[in-house]
């Protein structure tokens, strides 16, 4: 599951990767984006992609069905990230994994130009980890994911 899948940067490759035997869910609040992703999936013949429009705070796409729930640079965007994480816990299988990939909370480069979301909006790895643990997850790893991102993996 890609929660806050946006334009499909992660959800489309995931659907290609799992093949016909797998299933990938994508959820986003933007109906136009989901409609475009549905068109792209149809053009590619990806019948294993289930795309939904909705707020992550209110979305339960299943109970204990997901092997992986992925947040790709979006946890800081939700109105209530704690609720989103609690929903993720309900959707994950007992042996599933939560993956949070996000921007470091730092300036990038030698100029004041900031790539990605504004610094005030970002969660540091520590802040995101605390939210994830408070939702009932056990952090497995916190790693650097390139020069400007971190990735947290956790289990329920």
The domain locations on the chain are: 1-54, 64-156
d(CA 48, CA 144): 31
The tokens for 30 are 């933007």
Question: Considering only the top CATH level, what class is 64-156?
Answer: alpha beta
Q: Which residue has the higher pLDDT, 140 or 147?
A: 140
Q: How many residues are there in the chain?
A: 156
- CB neighbour class for 154 (10 Å; exposed up to 12, middle 13-18, buried from 19): buried
Which of helix, strand or coil describes residue 36? helix
d(CA 154, CA 15): 22
Residue-wise pLDDT for 113-129, tens only, equals: 567 888 889 999 999 99
The tokens for 63 are 């109970």
**Contact yes or no for 102/114 (Cβ under 8 A):** no
d(CA 125, CA 59): 25
d(CA 23, CA 17): 10
Task: Read off the DSSP letter of residue 45.
Answer: T
Q: Which residue has the higher pLDDT, 110 or 86?
A: 86
Residue-wise pLDDT for 43-61, tens only, equals: 999 999 999 999 999 999 9
Please check the confidence at residue 108 and state whether its pLDDT lies above 70.
no
First-residue to last-residue Cα distance in the chain: 15
Residues 6+ apart with CB under 8 A from 148: 103, 104, 106, 108, 115, 116
**DSSP labels for 93-144?**
EEEEEEEEEEE-SS--SSSS---SS-GGGPPPHHHHHHHHHHTT-EEEEEEE
């Amino acid at each position: 599951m890609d929660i806050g899948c946006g334009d499909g940067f992660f959800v489309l490759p995931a659907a290609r990767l799992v093949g016909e035997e797998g299933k990938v869910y994508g959820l986003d609040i933007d109906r136009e984006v989901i409609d475009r992703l549905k068109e792209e999936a149809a053009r590619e013949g990806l019948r294993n992609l289930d795309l939904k429009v909705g707020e992550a705070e209110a979305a339960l796409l299943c109970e204990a069905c997901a092997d992986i729930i992925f947040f790709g640079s979006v946890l800081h965007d939700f109105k209530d990230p704690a609720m989103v994480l609690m929903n993720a816990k309900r959707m994950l299988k007992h042996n599933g994994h939560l993956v949070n990939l996000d921007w470091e909370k730092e300036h990038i480069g030698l100029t004041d130009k900031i790539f990605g979301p504004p610094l005030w909006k970002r969660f540091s790895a520590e802040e995101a980890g605390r939210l994830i643990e408070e939702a009932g997850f056990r952090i497995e790893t916190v790693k650097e994911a390139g020069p400007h991102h971190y990735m947290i993996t956790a289990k329920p």
